[in-house]
């Protein structure tokens, strides 16, 4: 126990605590003071624990400390009965309970700081199952879990970078070397200035040198602009070639095929016998006569209440034969083919 107390006192007298204890003064602390020392050590590990324990109830203090010690994975020795004693010892500030905790904490402060930090992001909040039935709560919980996994990945990469060989000392060394190199360059520039000042017309020569530098920069800029314009021109030519290739291999062959079909149709129409105006008048007269007979027959049948479909079919067939005669049909197809109401892309109908 004496070695344990000595280690605790030595650790508390160092940074960041600077308590200035000795074995006697530390062992003479009142229970409330000892609890405050424990709380100060816990606050160094987790800043959220930085409170004055005189401002909270003893049960609340014990509960807060137990929660953090559980996160830090501190395991008191003993069985379940001893655990009850441990909790009670935290409430009353018992030395046999607090001394081992202080000794354990002060042995590994950096490790415990990291553990407490990670616990803020990696201890999962358990949402009751009945709440997860709500769609909004379920989506939020899913996003929370995804963010937790992202944090694990990023922290792992951060730890790898810390151990990748780049140290603060090396960076400072590089900065110091670059500063020395900068000083050497400044000295060289000053030395060259002094040498130049001894040369006749050095101001005019410096002016010419500056102009030369400006012209070189302008030349580089123009070369870059020229290359960009060349790239744009090549890109435009490639697009034109693709378009022309499409016209030659796809569009024009289809149009030629359609024109061939149209020409074939017109040739068939031209090969039909010509129909004069008198022929059309004669056919129209016959159609009108049959229509008149059909209408008269319908009127008679209606007056007699007799079915009219039987004999009407004969007249209808005669009218259809007249309408669909080859010569008349040919004229109708030509008119339909060149009618502006039809789409020119429709396939032509047979004239036969």
CATH number at residue 109: 1.10.418.70
In sequence order, what DSSP letters do the residues of 57-91 get, joined into one string?
A: -HHHHHHHHHHHHHHTT---SS-HHHHHHHHHHHH
Q: Number of folded domains in the chain? A: 1
The residue-averaged pLDDT of 339-349 equals 41
Which residue bears the tokens 């068939």?
A: 268
- 93 occurs within a structural domain: yes
pLDDT at 335 over 90: no
- 31 occurs within a structural domain: yes
Reading phi first (left if > 0) and then psi (alpha if -120 to 50, else beta), residue 349 is in beta
- 17 occurs within a structural domain: yes
Range of the domain at 73: 1-129
pLDDT at 107 over 50: yes
- 265 occurs within a structural domain: no
Least confident of 14-23, 108-117, 199-208, 250-259: 199-208
305 by DSSP, 3-state: which?
Answer: coil
- 181 occurs within a structural domain: no
Please report the pLDDT score of residue 281 as a whole number: 86
The mean of the pLDDT values for the chain is 81
Residue 12's contacts (CB-CB under 8 Å, 6 or more residues apart) are 19, 21, 26, 37, 41, 106
Q: Write out pLDDT tens, residues 50-89.
A: 989 889 898 899 899 999 999 999 988 765 557 888 888 8
In sequence order, what DSSP letters do the residues of 245-298 get, joined into one string?
A: HHIIIIIHHHHHHHHHHHHHHHHHHHHSPP--HHHHHHHHHHHHHHHHHHHHHH
pLDDT at 143 over 70: yes
- 162 occurs within a structural domain: no
Please report the pLDDT score of residue 348 as a whole number: 42
Please report the pLDDT score of residue 138 as a whole number: 84
Please report the pLDDT score of residue 82 as a whole number: 74
Please report the pLDDT score of residue 344 as a whole number: 41
pLDDT at 339 over 50: no
Please report the pLDDT score of residue 260 as a whole number: 92
DSSP annotation of 13 reads H
133 vs 105: CA distance, rounded Å: 42
- 90 occurs within a structural domain: yes
pLDDT at 8 over 70: yes
Q: Write out pLDDT tens, residues 267-285.
A: 887 887 766 778 788 888 8
Please report the pLDDT score of residue 340 as a whole number: 42
Please report the pLDDT score of residue 127 as a whole number: 79
- 331 occurs within a structural domain: no
The residue-averaged pLDDT of 227-240 equals 92
């Amino acid at each position: 126990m004496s070695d344990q107390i000595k280690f605790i006192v030595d650790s508390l007298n160092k940074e960041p605590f600077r308590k200035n204890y000795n074995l006697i003064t530390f062992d003479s602390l009142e229970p409330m003071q000892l609890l405050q020392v424990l709380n100060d050590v816990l606050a160094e590990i987790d800043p959220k624990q930085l409170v004055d324990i005189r401002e909270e109830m003893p049960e609340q203090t014990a509960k807060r400390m137990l929660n953090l010690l559980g996160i830090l994975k501190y395991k008191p020795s003993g069985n379940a009965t001893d655990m009850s004693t441990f909790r009670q010892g935290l409430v009353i500030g018992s030395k046999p309970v607090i001394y081992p905790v202080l000794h354990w904490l002060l042995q590994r402060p950096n490790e415990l700081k990291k553990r407490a930090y990670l616990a803020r992001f990696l201890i999962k909040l358990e949402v009751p199952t009945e709440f997860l039935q709500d769609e909004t709560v379920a989506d939020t919980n899913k996003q929370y879990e995804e963010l937790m996994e992202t944090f694990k990945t990023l922290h792992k990469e951060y730890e790898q970078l810390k151990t990748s060989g780049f140290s603060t000392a090396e960076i400072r060394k590089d900065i110091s070397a670059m500063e020395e190199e900068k000083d050497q360059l400044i000295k060289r520039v000053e030395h060259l200035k002094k040498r130049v000042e001894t040369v006749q017309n050095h101001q005019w020569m410096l002016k010419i040198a500056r102009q030369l530098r400006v012209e070189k920069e302008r030349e580089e800029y123009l070369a870059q602009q020229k290359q960009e314009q060349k790239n744009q021109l090549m890109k435009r030519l490639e697009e034109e070639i693709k378009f022309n290739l499409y016209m030659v291999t796809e569009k024009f062959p289809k149009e030629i095929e359609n024109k061939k079909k149209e020409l074939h149709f017109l040739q068939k129409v031209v090969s039909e016998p010509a129909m004069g105006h008198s022929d059309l008048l004669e056919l129209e007269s016959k159609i009108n006569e049959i229509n008149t007979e059909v209408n008269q027959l319908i009127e008679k049948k209606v007056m007699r209440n007799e079915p009219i479909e039987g004999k009407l079919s004969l007249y209808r067939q005669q009218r259809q034969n007249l309408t669909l005669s080859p010569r008349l049909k040919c004229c109708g197809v030509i008119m339909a083919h060149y009618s502006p109401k039809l789409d020119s892309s429709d396939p032509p109908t047979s004239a036969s």
